[in-house]
Structures are given as structure tokens and as C-alpha cells.
Amino acid sequence: MTFSDIFKSSFLESVTEFSAIDTLIGMLFALVIGLFIFVIYKRTFSGVMYSTGFAMSLVGLSLVTTLVIMAVTSNVVLSLGMVGALSIVRFRAAIKEPMEIVFLFWSLAVGIVIGAGMIPLAVIGSVIIGVVLVVFVDRRLHATPYILIVSCADEKAEESALNVIETSVDKYIVKSKTVNDAGIELTAEIRVKDAATSFVNRVNEISGVSGATLVTFNGEYMS
């Protein structure tokens, strides 16, 4: 056995199947589509705090997934080893918004599809997904939800407040009612059009109402 025979293996022979051009083309498309996903995420973000780190991770996720799939599809033995290696990896990043899951799966899907060599599918599919998200995410399907808290001295003031609320909003439902020696505290979820909140002033002017507080509500209690 010669010195060169020691380093001969199926691994070194498989390196000859590696195509630098195909890799560069795949990584380039993954970068472009990843940046497209980044732009769509920034355009449609509607949460409280925008995370630049999460947005950039979408680009990196597309590139890394593309690289992994290229390696897996070129070697069956390597694919089995990769599955075993990735099965012990655990991620603990918190998902703050449901839409973030969509963007994560989108980046993963792009990497998988490009790594498998189906670049046109990745491009066409990403364009369709991007258009759908831009059109529908910013579109308001329901009136703006609010929580209204009214402090009433007695039942008469409560009825007057509910009458004003009923004639001023599109829809309302009483979520809670607290009665004690100080009076009645009423909490209602309401829906208003065009963010018209002047009715709160009229509620506060009712005799027997000591205060009215309106806060934005981000929930799905009402259908």
C-alpha cells in the first residue's frame, strides 16, 4: 500500500461530483429569494417590535437550507448522516407572531426546492406567496377591536352608558361586570369603524359615570 492509497476513499471520489457552477447558481437564487422574503416580511410586519435579527435570519435560513439539501441530494450516505446529525439539534427561539411561522417555513421551503434543483418552482412560488401576503395581510377584514372600561355609580348610569355604546359602535359584547360598594365597573369589547372614538367622551359625560377608558385590543373573542 502506497502513501496515496491511504487517503483514497469513497469520500474523496465523491468530491469529483461537486459542481461549483451549480452551487453558485443555487446559492445566488437562494440569496435573491431570501432578500425578497426579507422585504415582504418588513412590508407586512404588523407586530409591536420589529426584529431585524429575525428578518435577516430568513435570508440566512434560505442559504443554509439550500446548501444542506445540495449536499444531501448528491450523496445517499451523507443524507443519512445529516438526518441523524440534525435530529439532535434543538431550537428554543420564541415565536412572537403567528405570521413569523409562515415566513420561517417559506424560507425553509425555498432552500429545499432550490437545493433540489427546481429553481423555477422556487421563483414562481415565492412571487405568488409574496403577492398574496402583501394583498391580504394589510387588508382589514373586520372593524378595529377595542376594550372599553366604564366606571358607573349605579344601575341607571350603566344603562345610559350601554345605550350610548349601542348607538355609537358597530358591535359590542360585555366581557365582564364587577359590582362593589364603590359602584359598577363594566368591561366591553367593541368594534368601531374608521377608529371613531368620540363616543367615549359622551359616555364619560353621563351622570353617574366617573370614568371611561378605551384601549386597543389585539384578540379574537368576537366573530
Q: What angle do CA 176, 179, 182 make, to 5 degrees?
A: 130
- Among 73, 108, 137, the domain-final residue is 137
Say if residue 83 is in the same domain as residue 98. Answer: yes
Let me know whether 122 and 203 are in one domain.
no
Q: Which of 137, 156, 183 is the last residue of a domain?
A: 137
Same domain (yes/no): 39, 74: yes
What CATH number is associated with residue 203? 3.30.70.260
Could you read off the pLDDT of 144-176 as tens digits, one per residue?
A: 678 889 999 888 889 998 898 888 888 888 888
Helix (H, G, I), strand (E, B) or coil at 44: helix
Question: Do 109 and 178 belong to one domain?
Answer: no
Domain containing residue 68: 3-137
pLDDT the model gives residue 124: 94
Average pLDDT on 58-62 reads 90
223 within a domain of the structure (yes/no): no
Number of folded domains that form the chain: 2
For residue range 193-216, list pLDDT tens digits in order. 666 778 888 888 888 898 888 887
Q: Pick the last residue of a domain from 107, 137, 167.
A: 137
pLDDT at 128: 95
The answer as to whether 167 is a domain residue is yes
Quick check: is 200 in a domain? yes
CA angle 145, 129, 124 (to 5 degrees): 170
Q: Are residues 66 and 119 in the same domain?
A: yes
Q: Does some domain include residue 154? A: yes
Are 131 and 150 in a shared domain?
A: no
Q: Are 103 and 58 in contact (CB under 8 A)?
A: yes
pLDDT band, residue 222 (cuts 50/70/90): very low
- Residues 45, 72 share a domain: yes
Helix (H, G, I), strand (E, B) or coil at 149: strand
Residue 166 CA to its chain's centroid (Å): 34
Residues 29 and 92 in one domain: yes
Residue 221 in domain: no
Q: Please write the tens of the pLDDT for every residue from 130-148.
A: 999 888 876 555 566 788 8
**CA 40, 43, 47, 53: dihedral to nearest 10 degrees?**
60
